[in-house]
Amino acid sequence: MPRSKIPLAAQASPDDIEQQFYEALQRGDIEQMMATWSDDDDIVCVHPGGQRLVGPGAIRGAFDAMFAAGTVDVQPDKVRRLQSPGCAVHSVLERIRMLTDEGPQTAWVIATNVYVQAAQGWRLVAHHASPGSPREVPEVAEPASTLH
């Protein structure tokens, strides 16, 4: 089946863009991935444990390298949405299945996805992901030990 490379519909919602983003990760589809992003020079992406990547070129380069290594078995879960005119902030717990020497494992990643409405429609402008707990990440009022 040919991979989708069509531009995303102008009426696509932030939820639609988010679905396209995670499908692109699952399929390793760089064109679908980059179609979810704004083309602003200041879009920013932080992968778990990774450096700050700024701009479409750096972000594409990182996803290219990631997809060269394989696809990502990721499922978004427990999405919290904060919607305002022209801006949507989604907090996502990503459930990632991996095969390890000890068999299949599940890892959790905490991601913040920010979507902004521009002329071409809603687009991703920031994806910040960091490692969560080895098991499902609870939501609590008590902080873990933190740097700040």
| Site residues (vs a copy of itself, CB under 8 A) | 25, 40, 42-44, 46-54, 57-58, 61-62, 65-66, 72, 74, 80-82, 84-87, 89, 91, 93-94, 96, 107, 109-110, 112, 114, 116-118, 125-126, 128-133, 137-148
* Nearest distance in Å: CB 5, a copy of itself: 22
Angstrom CA distances, 90 to 60, 76, 116, 125, 132, stand at: 21, 11, 11, 12, 16
Q: Tokens 């070129």, residue?
A: 57
* Nearest distance in Å: CB 27, a copy of itself: 13
Q: What is the DSSP letter of 51?
A: -
Nearer CB in complex with a copy of itself: 7/71: 71
Nearer CB in complex with a copy of itself: 2/74: 74
Tell me the residue type at 14.
P
